Amino acid sequence: MKAIALLIVLAECFRRGDSQFPRVCTNDAALDRKECCPVPPGFTEPCGGTGRGHCADIPDLVVEDVHWKDAYHVDDRRHWPTVFFNRTCLCEGNFSGYDCTRCSWGYRGPSCETKQQPTVRRNIRDISTKERAKFRRYMDRAKNTVSDFVFALEFKENIKGSQDFANISVYDYFVAVHYYASRETLPPSSTGICVEEKDCSLDFAHEGAGFPTWHRAFLLEAERALQEVNGDPDWTLPYWDWSAAEQHQCDICTNEYVGTNDEHGNLDSESIFATWRTICEHQVPFYNDTHTNHTRPCDVTKPTGRLKRNPGHQDPNRFGPSMTRLPLATEVDFALRFPVFDTPPYSRTSNCSFRNLLDGFADTSTGKYRGDITHEDGTLVPGAHTLHNHVHLYLNGTMSTGVITAANDPIFLLHHSNVDRLFETWIRRHGTADSAQPERGAPPGHNRHEYMVPFFPPYSHADMFKPSTELGYDYQELHGQGKHKESDMGECSAAWPGRLEFWGSAGVLLFFVVVCLLTTACSRLTSPKTRGPVQPALSQPLLEDVR
Ligand SMILES: *[C@@H]1O[C@H](CO)[C@@H](O)[C@H](O)[C@H]1NC(C)=O
Ligand SMILES: *[C@@H]1O[C@H](CO)[C@@H](O)[C@H](O)[C@H]1NC(C)=O
Ligand SMILES: *[C@@H]1O[C@H](CO)[C@@H](O)[C@H](O)[C@H]1NC(C)=O
Ligand SMILES: *[C@@H]1O[C@H](CO)[C@@H](O)[C@H](O)[C@H]1NC(C)=O
Ligand SMILES: *[C@@H]1O[C@H](CO)[C@@H](O)[C@H](O)[C@H]1NC(C)=O
Ligand SMILES: *[C@@H]1O[C@H](CO)[C@@H](O)[C@H](O)[C@H]1NC(C)=O
Ligand SMILES: *[C@@H]1O[C@H](CO)[C@@H](O)[C@H](O)[C@H]1NC(C)=O
Ligand SMILES: [Cu+2]
């Protein structure tokens, strides 16, 4: 009993987090009521009233299951966003945004009544010199303009009112959002809630089924913010097709794009980005008088350094020999062949999963997860650091030192725009069946209907799992259009897609084979449409699952 009481007390002590909300909702009254339903400028009712939006309770869509770690229960991100706000605007028709003054993705017009012609995200190597200058200027304006979102400097239980929220620039807001989604809950401690690093961190954006959809939402929000701050609603984020880079080296690491660097990784003073300061580069353990360390919330008002980049100089002994160059187009081709979006446990250890290949923890020759191996003599065999992860590490600097602060470097947006383009290529090739995303069983916050932390007002992964044209944008060109004839899927044979692992083992197979032999269904085995000896015995819904 005492132990349980102590645990509860501890849990109460360590609820923590810094977070971000519209400035209009961080006044004392709104915080107390946990209600963010502002009256938009020019209106008289919250959320604009009938025909536009009204205030409503936020449902809790969290899926509780085995992957929950103790750290989850002391984290402000739990049951997002209800620790902070449990009511927000529910917009009608095609309206959206925290006060229903914006349009849903893909809609335009004063009443958001028109479905827009998709805007086109272009290859940054193909846009004009003028457009490149615009890219640099637009980024810099976002870096130097105050956002209408503010960021909390304290744990939830210490937030007293608006004074605990700080202004932040439009660009840094996105750095902070990415940081917040992936930050650790508390430092590992032998006496604390979690002993090992892996149990202390909760990543709502990476290493899980929601990786592509989370970053898609992030890019849409960032693109819109850049359009708004620059008064250019037709502007689109360019993408950097690193798999087609000259000599497999960073061909946009020049002052025309994101900045040239010297051998120490410092940006050239001629680049506009040399003046940029990073935020949140250090997670500071925080000694609390209860004798356990917290991870102090990032103080977004304090610059933490300059951008660093040194492409091709990442340590190959630590991360593998491929670190001297960018990922190859053949590796992308390989990943795109995988028809199964994700496989249990929908995490960094997933095998034969398109998502995990793209995320970068699966080997692009076997299709299987591969982690670091340390031999007894201390020698390290680096695990798989492929595609998305490979590019981060290759760039050796701000993009590689920690996933939590990588977004400080503007190349992050260009890299992720390309990652989203690969996700889109996969969608156009393999479809968007609901069954592709897990309903449960993924790490916290990564299941299909869970809200993506920390977007506000909240929306789910499912909202992003559709062809980009339905969200109002498209790409100049998808990856390897028309040339994906090969069938190599490494150790994940095409007739045996990884999703079947869900059904366990050979034992289950044997069961189906026996059932099959005992019934007339066996004749279906010879049907010319079937690919392997097992699938015909499975029911139709499962077959759809497998696709
Ligand atoms: C330590 O944590 C407790 C409980 O959350 C809090 O009341 C107290 O202010 C914290 N101490 C410091 C120095 O912030
Ligand atoms: C929302 O939070 C307020 C303030 O804590 C509380 O009074 C109310 O019961 C909550 N509503 C729901 C639906 O949880
Ligand atoms: C939303 O947009 C669609 C497409 O333009 C339009 O048909 C529909 O009427 C709009 N809905 C509302 C409620 O305005
Ligand atoms: C934050 O920004 C808003 C809008 O620009 C401004 O009105 C407010 O004074 C700023 N607050 C602080 C503490 O700087
Ligand atoms: C907490 O962190 C401080 C500073 O890093 C360290 O000196 C102390 O030993 C830590 N305490 C615990 C209980 O881990
Ligand atoms: C992935 O494949 C490896 C090697 O075949 C196997 O040892 C491991 O258990 C698999 N992992 C999962 C999560 O299925
Ligand atoms: C860049 O890579 C070198 C090894 O080649 C390493 O010593 C250095 O710490 C890396 N720098 C950063 C910022 O990651
Ligand atoms: Cu990320």
270: DSSP letter: T
Question: Tens digits of per-residue pLDDT, 77-118?
Answer: 899 999 999 999 999 999 999 999 999 999 999 999 999 999
CATH of the domain at 123: 1.10.1280.10
CA distances from 479 to 47, 120, 215, 241, 445 (A): 41, 15, 18, 9, 29
Give the pLDDT mean for 410-419.
98
Choose among 411, 344, 358, 410: nearest CA to 387.
358
Number of domains in the chain: 2
Which residues, other chains included, contact 308 with Cβ-Cβ below 8 Å and sequence gap of 6+? 261, 265, 266, 267, 397, 398, 401
Around ligand 3, the residues with Cβ closer than 6 Å are: 93-94, 107, 111, 113-115
Task: Quote the ligand 1 centre to 152 CA distance (angstroms).
Answer: 16
Question: Does ligand 5 come within 6 angstroms of the Cβ of 293?
Answer: yes
Token digits of residue 45:
């009712």
Token digits of residue 138:
């637009």
Please, are residues 471 and 103 in contact by the beta-carbon 8 Å criterion?
A: no
Residue range of the domain that includes 521: 501-546
Instruction: Tell me: do 244 and 202 sit in the same domain.
Output: yes
> CA 425 to CA 468: how far, in whole Å?
10
Whether pLDDT at 229 is above 90: yes
Q: Which ligand is nearest to the CA of 389?
A: 8
- Determine the pLDDT at residue 474: 98
Instruction: Tell me: do 473 and 514 sit in the same domain.
Output: no
Instruction: Tell me: do 433 and 541 sit in the same domain.
Output: no
366: DSSP letter: T
Give the pLDDT mean for 276-300.
69
CA distances from 418 to 218, 242, 332, 364, 411 (A): 13, 8, 11, 18, 11
Band the pLDDT of 188: cuts 50, 70, 90. Answer: confident
Instruction: Tell me: do 528 and 468 sit in the same domain.
Output: no
Around ligand 1, the residues with Cβ closer than 6 Å are: 13, 157, 288-290
Q: Does residue 318 belong to any structural domain of this protein?
A: no
> CA 51 to CA 95: how far, in whole Å?
9
Q: Does residue 193 belong to any structural domain of this protein?
A: yes
Give the pLDDT mean for 363-383.
95
Question: What atom in ligand 4 is closest to the CA of residue 150?
Answer: 1
Band the pLDDT of 540: cuts 50, 70, 90. Answer: very low
Q: Which of 481, 515, 531 is the last residue of a domain?
A: 481
Question: What atom in ligand 6 is closest to the CA of residue 345?
Answer: 13
Helix ranges (DSSP H) in 446-493: none
Question: Tens digits of per-residue pLDDT, 128-145?
Answer: 999 999 999 999 999 999
Question: Tens digits of per-residue pLDDT, 501-531?
Answer: 444 444 444 544 444 455 444 444 434 333 3
Question: Tens digits of per-residue pLDDT, 428-484?
Answer: 999 999 889 999 999 999 999 999 999 999 999 999 999 999 999 999 999 986 566
Around ligand 4, the residues with Cβ closer than 6 Å are: 146, 167
Q: Does residue 116 belong to any structural domain of this protein?
A: yes
Q: Which of 340, 368, 373, 503 has the most ligand 6 atoms within 8 A of CB, as the residue to mutate?
A: 368
Q: Does residue 442 belong to any structural domain of this protein?
A: yes
Instruction: Tell me: do 46 and 147 sit in the same domain.
Output: yes
Task: Quote the ligand 2 centre to 34 CA distance (angstroms).
Answer: 7
Instruction: Tell me: do 221 and 280 sit in the same domain.
Output: yes
Instruction: Tell me: do 416 and 541 sit in the same domain.
Output: no
Q: Which ligand is nearest to the CA of 86?
A: 2
Instruction: Tell me: do 40 and 86 sit in the same domain.
Output: yes
pTM of the model: 0.85
Task: Quote the ligand 6 centre to 431 CA distance (angstroms).
Answer: 26
Token digits of residue 11:
């849990």
- Determine the pLDDT at residue 12: 32
Please, are residues 67 and 443 in contact by the beta-carbon 8 Å criterion?
A: yes
Instruction: Tell me: do 477 and 506 sit in the same domain.
Output: no
Question: Does ligand 5 come within 6 angstroms of the Cβ of 189?
Answer: yes
